[in-house]
Structure 1
């Protein structure tokens, strides 16, 4: 059995997630956003939300979605990042973006985002990538803006009362839609 190698210049190797990846994906997403472990990185939501970020059922549904894909990024055979893409006609939704907290800030996130954009554009022929980000995450929104995403001013409410998405620590959370034109193939 051969170990999955690191790509060029130390970049991660990508593959499609399988059902066997679900436990590791749940652990990665949780570690990137919630609890004490998330504070090792800069994407933590621990000051905004308690509770879970995802669960095995939601990740299983994403992996099995015929209109989507969960991309896994590995280095040295270890899961270091992931994201979800869901095809929505001429656009795609980007979500479940997670990088191991101790590796955040090292460029892996940029590489994962670029791969997601490539898949959406080249494999699906999609021209627009969209996502929702908690409005109060100004640092994260700024990170996306530096990568060509723009704020739309379109907001949706946080699902208060549905603990599958976490337990809010403040009453004013909402999501803002960000979009990026991907151009043509």
Structure 2
């Protein structure tokens, strides 16, 4: 079993640029799909095969005026990211990825805290929203420990659109999780 990588510095946060797209695609894919993702605990490899994102999708986020793709770097390496999209009174949180070998050491908590701070500071958001595959009970529990609450509001998985992966079961759906921001 692979161990968590020890980092020597606190993460440095910045907004992604177009030049970051290839590294960010690789980061997101490594955190969720394929054998590399199994080094961490956020893998979706048992639920979905295929891609999690692609260069066009990441580029669209990076260049969207209502979005910000937050990047975390440690020791000169891109180790985490998340997408923030301003949607009126709330910010949507997505594309959250932590390099599998860096998971389990608190980096994800730091990224979430910075994302919530930015949502309040830049957009005066009252809440953060996200959708999580409802079958990801361990991940949902992690978000609940961070103050997110399950709403019971479900939305369908985009079956047939391989841009989001190839489902390995026929009952996938997303649940909306919400956190009020102080």
Which TM-score bucket, shorter chain as reference?
A: over 0.9
What secondary structure does 1:136 align onto?
A: coil
Does residue 1:143 correspond to 2:147, yes or no? no
Alpha-carbon distance in structure 2 between the residues aligned to 1:148 and 1:14: 22
Map 1:107-118; keep pairs closer than 5 Å: 107-118=106-117
- Structure 1 match to 2:158: 159
Counterparts of 1:66 and 1:123, CA distance in 2: 13
The alpha-carbon deviation at position 122 of structure 1 amounts to 1.5
Which structure 1 residue ranges, 4+ long, deviate > 2 Å from structure 2?
none
Q: Which residue of 1 aligns with 2:5?
A: none
In structure 2, the residue matched to 1:58 is: 57
* Residue ranges of structure 2 left out of the alignment (5+ in a row): 1-7
SS in 2 for 1:10: coil
The alpha carbon displacement at 1:76 in A equals 1.1
State the match for 2:4 in structure 1.
none
Please, which runs of 5 or more residues in structure 1 have no aligned partner?
Answer: 1-8
Q: CA deviation at 1:124?
A: 1.3
Matches within 5 A, 1:116-131: 116-131=115-130
Question: What is aligned with 2:171?
Answer: 172
TM-score (norm 2): 0.95
Q: How does 1:1-185 map to 2 (within 5 A)?
A: 10-183=9-182
TM-score, length-scaled by structure 1: 0.93
- Kindly indicate whether the alpha-carbon contact (under 8 Å) linking 1:155 and 1:177 is maintained by their aligned counterparts in 2: yes
CA distance in 1, matches of 2:9, 2:174: 34
User: Number of residues paired by the alignment?
Assistant: 175
Deviation per residue, 1:104-139 (Å, 9 max, x gap): 111000000000000001221001100000000000
SS state of the match for residue 39, structure 2? coil
